[in-house]
Each structure stands twice: as structure tokens, then as C-alpha cells.
Structure 1
């Protein structure tokens, strides 16, 4: 029996489960019989595995006792009769069982009674008790067979923030690409990697961005020294976008003040700034934002997707409530900062209702938003889709089926009501005098800076 400590990112699987008893030996018989039925179901539903020769068995605890699930990494196929399972990110004790599968219960018993105690490790008390992974090394009832067992461990090694190496911070050459570019940004930067708002829809979870453990926030080593060197070396100045991939006002920022340090540099070297955030912590830096706005353009974009706080908390669980963000908009307005709303994504079959759209626009007007920029739909790809569908099953039972029927595996998933909602949105914005076209929004905040500069003169 070989053992090691390891750290895993989220793993999403599809499969079926059955109830277990309290006897290890009897459960072994249940699990082996269930595997046989599960393999037949894979063929019946034509489930194509995402990875060849890899299958999983999950022992889970719930209110009704222990269950045993057989599952595979799915290649974006989620049969109605299958559940989506999540192996949560975290620290695990990984043990290799060598030999006959029939002796697996003995290894499991030894791990929980001896191995964990000898290593002074405590198993986690979540839903997952342990899981088994079967790859090409597994051979049924052969001495050369290998099965990997993973036991989730208690504790959270992510409480402190990890540092990662970075050669550059600022991206872009100082050229806005056309008047319809993303809010007229000339440069972009992300001061942190990862985000802990926990939004169920976030595109940044996609594997194409290569951000492992996206919910874990990491800082970049010597980020302000690197940024200052880059700012000093630019021939052409412009507006710097912050927070497109990771919210720059995460909870760590309260103590780290990396974003505040970056704003001080932006002010010192004569750049403008545009910030995307869901956090009310942006209000801490009103003094710096006002100072930058006195000489260069400033725009703050607060993401608000729901007029109703309860619905918002389901899809953005760890971000400040919509009500708090609306109040932050008002504070930004009072400080003379050009601020508005990113009304995106509007999720199909969830918040794509006329009541939600009119509610957001009315509250935006009440709290003096200068603009609202919408997207009536969302994007879905690879592991982001897995995460989203897993959350749909949890919070919105039955909605996953609607997505599968309408969108299959396409990337861009527009709301079926997109055209009608956009027309309603336009009418409401015009009623309250709120900008909603990209070029009007860009002109608005850049014009405001010119006017402020003239007043100062």
C-alpha cells in the first residue's frame, strides 16, 4: 500500500448511485454488482467518456446513509437518468491498492483505522467519504491491478494567499481598437489570479484560461514593482482596465491593498482606469479614483444581474448583494465618479424575465447609474459547463434539461427571449436617460473627464 498527499482541483463526473449498508464486506458485493449494471447503462445511453480507461466510484454520506456512485468524466453528455457529481477541490490522501479488487475493503479499513492516525490526518466531514479511481492499470481480480483511493482531508490550506511568479502585469500596446472596443480600454491587467465570489456562471472557469483552482485567489510576486516599471516605460498612455478575469476587490484586498497600490501608481504616472467588480470594497478607494478622474478618464462597472437579492445570492453566492451594489453606485455618483452596470450574464430560463430587466433599470435610475451594458445570454464551454450544470441541478432542478435541449454543446447561449428583452431594455433606458450603447458609454466617461479638467482650470 503506497500513500501520498496531493491537492486536487474540482472534478466533474456523470453517473448513477445506489444505497449502501453498514457492512464493508456486504457493501463490496453491492458495489461490484452495481458496476456491472452501470457499465451496461453506459452502452445503453451511448455515454462517451471524456478520458479513455478512467472510471470513478464515490462513497458518499447523506441524510439517508451511505451511497455508492459509479461515474465517468463525460464528454459533454449528460443523460437524463444520470446525476452530475463533483469531487471538490482540496487536499487528499492518495493510497494505491495493489492486487485483487476483492481485497479492496481491507485496504479501505486499514486506511481509516491506521494510516490516517499514523499520519495525524483528519478526514473531512463533507458529503464525500472517499473515492476510487480506475485507470488502465486496473485489471479485475489480478495481482498486478492498481486502484487509487482518495480520502478528502479536513482543514483548508487556502486560507493564506499563495504567491505566483509574473514577468509582466500590464497587457496591451496602448491602442484602443476602434470606437466600439470594450469600454475604450487601452491596456488591461489582472492583479490577482482566481476569484472567490463563487458565481455559478463564470466563463473564467473555462480550461482555455488555464487557471487551476479558480476559486482560490493568488497574488503575483512583486506585482507593484513590475507594474511601476511597465508604466514608466510606456511611450503612450491611456486607460487601464482592471478585473476582467479576476475581481480585483476580493476579500484579500482589504489587507493586501494591492489594487490600492496600483491605483496610486496609475495616478502618479498619468493613466486613466476602468474597473470591473462586484465588490463594494471599491468605495474604500474613492479618494484615489477622484484624484485620477481629475486628470484622466475613470469608469467603474459594477456587475448586477438580478434585481432580487435572493435570486442573486443563488447565482453569485459570495459576492455582495445586489442591494449593496446599488448603494455603492450611489456613493460613486456622489463622489463624481462615472459608474454604471454590467448587466451580464442574463441567464436563460433563470433571470431572463421582463420583471428582472425592468427592476434592474428602475433601481439603476434610482441610484444614479450613468449606463447599463447588457448581455442577454451566456457562454458555456468545457469544464465551465460541467460546473454550471452541477449548480443548476442543485439550485434549479430541471433547468439543465432545458439547456441541453436548446443549446447542446454550443458556446454562445442566447436567451430565447433575447430580442424581446432587449427591446424592453432599450425602452426603459430611454425613459430614464440611461446610456446603453458602447460608443455612447465611452464618449460619456471620456467627455466627463474633459469637463472636469476644464472646471479645474
Structure 2
């Protein structure tokens, strides 16, 4: 048997791409081949690659309402107008969904986006079905409904218009101040107890936020959006999500304090989740941006995940387990009690729902 040749190609270190979150273009779990940039001795590895530009493809969907049966989700209906998200949050648990499209959960997730331009029309048709039973619809359960491409496509606004017309309750989770654009529709819905908004604030550190979530609104701008929505009568709380050990966990109380001062009265938090390919993406990001903290972050996360890097079990996947998870939960609840969060839960009214006609025309009777 011939002797094994020594390796002569070293893996090229991953670099930060300006305005993007992922530090590598990882293959999806359904791919049969792996591609890796290497130095072949001709200096090709140091050549500047073309920039990752955002492309948007119109997707022809057959339906838009997704049903859920998860016992630890506060909703059973959701709607996502887009696939992929230009915000580029490195921790986004939706990244692995791009693997179903034979695309990378890494930079492809941030740059190769899909929009559902007929979402409002499909929503109307589904709400018009006699078998449909009204239940609050969650916008932003997978990808952000107010990511940058919404400025041009305006699909989320069209969806809000249909829900307002039908007096259908909904919730929104976003990291974007673009939600302020739709205050007119949101205030209309809020007057009839039909909407609740949560703005996600991961950190108050602008430098850290720029690395974690490069194209999302700045922390300061998100706090302003919380204030403006509440001043307009739209109940807007804060999601402290995700909490990342050794990176953002120390800020839990300060984020809650700042959000309360800007009018938030409801809140929740989630612990970092790393399903499927997200584990490798996040660890590579840590190695590039915070190499001295990388093992501390992952070690503490494993302690809070029962020794694993991800825990998919209902009941613990959002909050973790063990001593450090209990301490985090205790800190959160003590801060909520001290500040006055969650004293009056927002209840969405399903009794006002008016079934539309499938054609979009109003009934004569």
C-alpha cells in the first residue's frame, strides 16, 4: 500500500465580510459535497472574492399560514413573508432552514432571499375558508417581517391590511425600526385588542450588536421604536433574545431597565439555541471575533444544555437546564418584579374576526 502523502494544503482562515454576520459559507446538511477554499501555492487563496450581494427571488407559494403544535410556543399559527433574512444575525435559529433549498445556512441565508409577493392574497383565501378557525397569527416566528427588503416589497404591510380588514389578531417579533412605518395600521388593530408587538433587543453594546446582527437596527434605534409604538397606543414589549453566556448575559437587567424606561411593559427571554448547522457557524464566528471567549461561551452553553451544544426538547430548549439556567431565570424574574413587567398580560381578541370573501369583495349581507 503506498504511503499516505502529507497534507500540503492548509485551510484558509475565515474572514469577516463587511455587513454580513456569518464568517463562512457552510454546506447544508443535505448536500453531498463539501467545498473548501485552500491555498494551492499560487496565491489564489489570498485573492479577493466578489462581494456577496443580496438577491431576492419571488416565490410562488400555495399557502402562507403555518400550523404549529409545539407546547412551548405561545401561538399555533404563524406566517412568514420571506425566507432568509438580510439582518444577518449569526445566532438565528432559522438559518438551517435554507438547507431545504440546497443553499448554505451561512452567507446564502443572508444574501439569497425569497419573497412571497402574493402572501396577502393567499392569506385572504385561507381566512375565507369555512373551516378556518380564528387564532392569533405570529409574524416573525422564523424570519423578520421588517427586514430591509420589506421597504421595497411591502408584503408585511399588505398582510397587516388584510388582517385589519378582517379584524384578525396577530403578534409581531422584529429587530427593525421599520415597524414604525405601519403605526397607522397597528394603532387601528390595537384599538380593538388585535395586536401585540415585541422588539428583540440582544445587547445595548453597539459594537457587539454590529458583529452579532450587522444589518438589524441599532440597539438605541430599537428602544426608540418601542417608545414610539407605545406612545401610539400599540402594546410593544421587549424580547431579550437570545441570551448568550459570557457575551450578553451580564446585560439582562440593563436591557430590561432600558426597555422599561422606553415604555415596554411585557417581556420574555430565550437562551441561545444552536440547531443543526448553526453550531458550526456560531463557533466559527466566535473564533473570528472573540477567540479568547470562545471556549468559555461554548462550555457554559453545554452546561446549560445538559452537556450538549443544543437541546431540542420541549420545555427546556428556550430556557436551558441546570444551575446556570436556574440562575438566569431567577435574575430575569427578579428584574421583572422589581421593574413592573408582565403585570397586565396583553390578551388578543378573537371574537371580532370577520371572515372575508375569497374574491376580496364585501358581502351584500
Q: TM-score range by the shorter chain?
A: 0.7 to 0.9
Report the equivalent of 2:220. 323
Distance 1:279 1:37, change over 3 A: same
For residues 138 and 128 of structure 2, what CA distance do their matches in structure 1 show? Answer: 17
Distance 1:405 1:370, change over 3 A: closer
Say whether 1:193 aligns with 2:83.
yes
Say whether 1:219 aligns with 2:115.
yes
For residues 432 and 218 of structure 1, what CA distance do their matches in structure 2 show? Answer: 41
Distance 1:346 1:85, change over 3 A: closer
Report the equivalent of 2:288. 394
Report the equivalent of 1:86. 24
Compute the TM-score of the two structures, normalised by the length of structure 2.
Answer: 0.74
Compute the TM-score of the two structures, normalised by the length of structure 1.
Answer: 0.60
Distance 1:198 1:61, change over 3 A: closer
Report the equivalent of 1:16. none
**Number of residue pairs matched?**
310
Distance 1:334 1:165, change over 3 A: same
Alignment check: 8 A CA contact 1:338 1:445 kept: no
Deviation at 1:296, TM superposition (A): 4.3
Distance 1:205 1:335, change over 3 A: same
For residues 196 and 286 of structure 2, what CA distance do their matches in structure 1 show? Answer: 33
For residues 46 and 254 of structure 2, what CA distance do their matches in structure 1 show? Answer: 40
The answer for unaligned runs of 5 or more in structure 2 is: 16-21, 28-39, 312-316, 353-365
For residues 286 and 313 of structure 1, what CA distance do their matches in structure 2 show? Answer: 26
Say whether 1:366 aligns with 2:272.
no
For residues 342 and 379 of structure 1, what CA distance do their matches in structure 2 show? Answer: 15
Deviation at 1:325, TM superposition (A): 0.6
Determine which of 304, 307, 313 is the counterpart of 2:210. 313
Alignment check: 8 A CA contact 1:60 1:129 kept: no
Say whether 1:291 aligns with 2:198.
no
Please give the root-mean-square deviation of Cα atoms over the aligned residues, in Å: 3.4
Say whether 1:258 aligns with 2:155.
yes
What CA deviation, in whole Å up to 9, does each residue of 1:192-235 have, x standing for no partner?
11101111211112259725321132102522221221122253
For residues 294 and 409 of structure 1, what CA distance do their matches in structure 2 show? Answer: 45
Report the equivalent of 1:165. 60
Deviates more, 1:216-225 or 1:416-425: 416-425
1:87-102 to structure 2, matched below 5 A, reads 87=25
Report the equivalent of 2:356. none
Report the equivalent of 1:245. 142
For residues 398 and 265 of structure 1, what CA distance do their matches in structure 2 show? Answer: 50
> RCO greater where, 1 or 2, for CA within 8 Å and sep 6 or more?
2
Alignment check: 8 A CA contact 1:61 1:129 kept: no
Deviation at 1:391, TM superposition (A): 0.6
Report the equivalent of 1:332. 229
Secondary structure of the 2:86 match is: coil
More strand by share: 1
Distance 1:403 1:37, change over 3 A: farther
Report the equivalent of 1:380. 274
Secondary structure of the 1:206 match is: helix
Deviation at 1:310, TM superposition (A): 2.5
Secondary structure of the 2:66 match is: coil
The answer for unaligned runs of 5 or more in structure 1 is: 1-33, 39-55, 63-83, 90-103, 113-126, 131-151, 451-457
Distance 1:203 1:292, change over 3 A: same
Higher Rg: 1
Deviation at 1:268, TM superposition (A): 1.2
Secondary structure of the 1:444 match is: coil
Secondary structure of the 2:238 match is: strand
Distance 1:372 1:335, change over 3 A: same
Deviation at 1:57, TM superposition (A): 6.0
Deviation at 1:395, TM superposition (A): 1.3
Alignment check: 8 A CA contact 2:242 2:272 kept: yes
